[in-house]
């Protein structure tokens, strides 16, 4: 490919996106990559799909799967001695049909509309309790004092974990999360292993308690989950509980933190939301599009030779759907770099549509609606104390979170 002087190649763009220090604003680079090569194989032999059409196909088509991920995890030389790597390999994220279909069907009741609707009052209570000290003090940190705490608190409640254990589960979740970072070190893996073993013991004991004393919670539903004579094994149950907490935490705290930050940077849209609180459902979809909490989906693997936007992909190739780029594709979204809370026909790829669609998407949406909607409604003035807050970002070669690490503000009520 011959490029004009000063123009970056697709490989240079991938390298910039994937090498610390990561770009604070990746979207111009995504646009360049999308224009140059919407389907591109990097020198690392990893493919990237950056257009909306290509990324949506990777996420939805049965020609792409995630099951190979479990085999790759098992090839880590540390696998045999690592509790966390063994647990990751059994999570639904890294399983393809027919086992994926079976597990998905067994846990489908866990996130039913009835369960989610009953959660609304509790989420409202959590949001109000976290905001109370900020109201008294006239400010605080809307990430470390707010967004960071909502997801684990809510998901633990949903599972039936006693409130006294919520903080411990959050700590375990963060430690286990170290194992999915690219190039996890031996020391990080040891910490993650310790947390996973404690997680396993805790949830096995909780499962015994829920079988003996069923309650109106998700852990009880998981222990009772049956379909055509099938049920979750003990390890599947523990892995599912671990995954529900871990997957729901990072995504949702980034949705809340990034969503508030986007509104503060777009005051006209914030005023529109305050004038019309009913706009919050549409607003959440737009915030999920505008600043995806996870910028690249869990890598898929090509299950048979396939063509994607005119590019031949061989069986076994690994490809990442770059959601952050796809969600701002001008071929799919008019004015994609503009925040538009009532954008019509808004279907971002943020929760990975297809058979691997995020299990907790409905919970994350509810938390986002209540957290962001309450902040917008309750405070007439929200002033950022750091106009350019640090962002949580990881390598672009895997699932990489993006969201503010902190969001210190001053607040005044109506």
pLDDT tens per residue, range 342-373: 999 999 999 999 888 888 889 999 999 999 99
pLDDT of the residue at 89:
78
Mean pLDDT of 316-339: 96
pLDDT digits (tens, 9 = 90+) for 240-250: 888 888 777 88
The CA-based angle 160-162-168, given to 5 degrees, is: 110
Q: What is the mean pLDDT of residues 280-295?
A: 96
Global pTM? 0.91
Residue 238 included in any domain: yes
> For residue 398, what pLDDT band results from cuts at 50, 70 and 90?
very low
CATH number at residue 380: 1.10.630.10
Query: Does residue 141 have a pLDDT over 80?
Result: yes
Q: Is residue 229 a part of any domain in this protein?
A: yes
Number of domains in the chain: 1
Give the mean pLDDT of the chain: 88
What is the rounded distance in angstroms from the CA atom of residue 136 to the CA atom of residue 143?
17
Q: ∠ at Cα 247 (245, 250), nearest 5°? A: 100
1 falls within a domain: no
In percent, the amount of the chain with pLDDT more than 70 equals: 95
- Which whole-number Å values give the CA distances from 266 to 263, 369, 395, in the listed order? 5, 18, 28
**266, part of any domain:** yes
Section 388-396 average pLDDT: 72
Question: Is residue 231 a part of any domain in this protein?
Answer: yes
For residue 413, the surrounding DSSP H or E stretch is strand 408-413
Of 85, 92, 86, 83, the C-alpha closest to 110 is: 92
Structural domain boundaries, residue 53: 10-413
Residue 98: asked if its preceding bond is cis (omega within 30°), the reply is yes
**Average confidence (pLDDT) over 138-157:** 94
Say if 201 falls within a structural domain: yes
Residue 333 located in a structural domain: yes
**Structural domain includes residue 15:** yes
Q: How far apart are CA 93 and CA 179, in angstroms?
A: 15
The pLDDT assigned to 339 comes to: 98
d(CA 262, CA 414): 21
């Amino acid at each position: 490919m011959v490029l004009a002087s000063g123009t970056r190649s697709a490989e240079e763009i991938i390298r910039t996106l994937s090498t610390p220090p990561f770009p604070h604003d990746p979207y111009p680079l995504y646009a360049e990559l999308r224009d140059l090569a919407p389907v591109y194989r990097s020198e690392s032999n990893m493919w990237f799909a950056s257009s909306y059409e290509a990324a949506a196909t990777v996420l939805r088509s049965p020609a792409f799967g995630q099951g190979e991920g479990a085999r790759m995890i098992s090839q880590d030389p540390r696998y045999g001695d690592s509790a966390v790597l063994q647990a990751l390999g059994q999570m639904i994220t890294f399983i393809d049909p027919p086992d994926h279909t079976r597990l998905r069907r067994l846990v489908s009741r866990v996130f039913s509309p009835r369960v989610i609707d009953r959660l609304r009052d509790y989420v409202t209570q959590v949001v109000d309790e976290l905001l109370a000290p900020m109201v008294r003090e006239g400010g605080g940190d809307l990430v470390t004092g707010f967004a960071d705490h909502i997801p684990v608190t809510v998901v633990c409640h949903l599972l039936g974990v006693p409130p006294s254990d919520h903080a411990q589960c959050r700590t375990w979740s963060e430690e286990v999360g170290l194992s999915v970072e690219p190039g996890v070190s031996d020391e990080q893996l040891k910490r993650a292993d310790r947390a996973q073993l404690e997680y396993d013991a805790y949830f096995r004991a909780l499962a015994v308690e829920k079988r003996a004393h069923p309650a109106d919670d998700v852990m009880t539903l998981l222990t009772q989950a049956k379909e055509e004579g099938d049920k979750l094994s003990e390890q599947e149950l523990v892995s599912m509980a671990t995954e529900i907490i871990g997957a729901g935490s990072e995504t949702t705290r980034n949705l809340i933190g990034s969503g508030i930050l986007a509104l503060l940077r777009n005051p006209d849209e914030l005023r529109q939301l305050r004038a019309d609180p009913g706009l919050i459902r549409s607003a959440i979809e737009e915030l999920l599009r505008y600043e995806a909490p996870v910028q690249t989906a869990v890598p898929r693997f090509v299950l048979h030779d396939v063509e994607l936007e005119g590019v031949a992909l061989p069986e076994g190739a690994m490809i990442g759907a770059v959601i952050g780029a796809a969600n701002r594709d001008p071929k799919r979204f008019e004015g994609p770099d503009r925040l538009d809370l009532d954008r019509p026909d808004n279907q971002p790829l943020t929760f990975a549509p297809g058979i691997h669609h995020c299990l907790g998407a409905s919970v994350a949406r509810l938390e986002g609606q209540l957290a962001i909607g309450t902040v917008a409604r309750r405070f007439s003035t929200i002033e950022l104390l750091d106009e350019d807050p640090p962002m949580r970002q990881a390598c672009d070669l895997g699932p990489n979170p993006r969201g503010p690490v902190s969001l210190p503000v001053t607040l005044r009520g109506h």
